[in-house]
């Protein structure tokens, strides 16, 4: 692998990893993507050299740990957990498998840093970069708050009313901040008239929620409703930004087919 090439292990479809894929396409950074559907990842060995379990060897030092977000036990190597001690995906690695980077926003930042000579997606100075980070941190909080709701929609248990309410409040708080920023600053993108990874992050985090919250609960639930549909008219500027981003070649290349598949754009 090229020394600047990044290997990523993840599940797909995963709008959170779209962030890095879009940034890489914009900056010409090469990615080595290893991925499968969420339901299939329990049949993989989680490692820098991630691969299906049937390709396991005697040299692999295995450590079976946890089932978070999965119905089956996951097989992880000690090396994977040394590089990513939280043991989650997406996970990224340098070309030699000596450095691990975890959390989608951190992987996005890595791509932006490596590709800065092609296009500066992070901001022109430390203050701007910190403002970019502020939006990305807010996106992370939104993702954390809605995770239990998204997992509950795919579980075999009824979705509690309180879980729906937490997701609704998290969505409204997040989108209100995005809408307010666009309304008061009157810029084409979140930071300025130039696109940054704050916009890429918003795009990925919004559609992570949109795609996986579009699934109706397995059990009849009088409290469930389509959160995005209910509040769409309240966040017209935010949705206009999403439409503007999707018209950019790299965004459309990575995201459009999946969005059509999930009936978001038809």
**pLDDT tier, 235 (very low <50, low <70, confident <90, very high otherwise):** very high
Residue 60 pLDDT > 70, yes or no? no
**pLDDT tier, 266 (very low <50, low <70, confident <90, very high otherwise):** very low
Whether residue 263 lies inside any domain: the answer is no
How many CA atoms are closer than 13 Å to the CA of 139, on its beta-carbon side? 29
How many CA atoms are closer than 13 Å to the CA of 90, on its beta-carbon side? 28
User: Do residues 15 and 205 lie in contact, with contact meaning Cβ atoms separated by under 8 Å?
Assistant: yes
pLDDT in tens, 154-178: 888 899 999 999 999 999 999 999 9
Instruction: Quote the number of domains for the chain.
Output: 2
pLDDT in tens, 2-19: 666 899 999 999 999 999
Residue 61 pLDDT > 80, yes or no? no
Q: Which of 102, 74, 86, 76 is nearest to 17 (CA)?
A: 102
Please indicate, yes or no, whether residues 225 and 148 belong to a single structural domain of this protein.
yes
**pLDDT tier, 59 (very low <50, low <70, confident <90, very high otherwise):** low
The residue out of 114, 143, 178 marking a domain boundary is: 114
Whether residue 120 lies inside any domain: the answer is no
Calculate mean pLDDT across residues 26-36.
96
Which tokens in the block code for residue 171?
């969505």
pTM: 0.92
Whether residue 265 lies inside any domain: the answer is no
pLDDT in tens, 71-129: 567 889 999 999 999 999 999 999 999 999 999 999 999 999 999 999 999 999 999 99
Please indicate, yes or no, whether residues 146 and 102 belong to a single structural domain of this protein.
no
d(CA 261, CA 15): 13
Whether residue 121 lies inside any domain: the answer is no
CATH of the domain at 179: 1.20.1050.10
């Amino acid at each position: 692998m090229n020394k600047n090439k990044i290997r990523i292990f993840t599940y797909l479809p995963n709008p959170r990893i779209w962030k890095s894929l879009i940034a890489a396409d914009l900056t010409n950074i090469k990615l080595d993507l290893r991925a499968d559907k969420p339901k299939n990842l329990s049949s993989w060995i989680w490692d820098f050299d991630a691969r299906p379990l049937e390709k396991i060897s005697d040299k692999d030092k295995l450590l079976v740990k946890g089932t978070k977000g999965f119905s089956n036990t996951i097989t992880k190597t000690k090396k994977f957990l040394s590089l990513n001690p939280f043991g989650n995906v997406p996970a990224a690695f340098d070309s030699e498998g000596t450095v691990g980077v975890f959390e989608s926003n951190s992987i996005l930042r890595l791509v932006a840093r490596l590709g800065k000579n092609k296009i500066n997606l992070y901001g022109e100075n430390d203050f701007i970069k910190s403002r970019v980070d502020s939006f990305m941190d807010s996106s992370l909080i939104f993702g954390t708050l809605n995770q239990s709701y998204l997992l509950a929609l795919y579980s075999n248990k009824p979705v509690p009313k309180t879980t729906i309410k937490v997701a609704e409040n998290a969505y409204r708080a997040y989108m209100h901040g995005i809408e307010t920023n666009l309304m008061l600053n009157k810029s084409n993108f979140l930071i300025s008239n130039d696109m940054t990874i704050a916009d890429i992050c918003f795009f990925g985090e919004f559609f992570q929620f949109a795609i996986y919250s579009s699934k109706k609960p397995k059990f009849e639930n009088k409290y469930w409703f389509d959160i995005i549909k209910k509040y769409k008219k309240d966040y017209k500027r935010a949705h206009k930004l999403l439409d503007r981003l999707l018209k950019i070649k790299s965004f459309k290349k990575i995201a459009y087919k999946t969005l059509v598949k999930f009936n978001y754009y038809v």
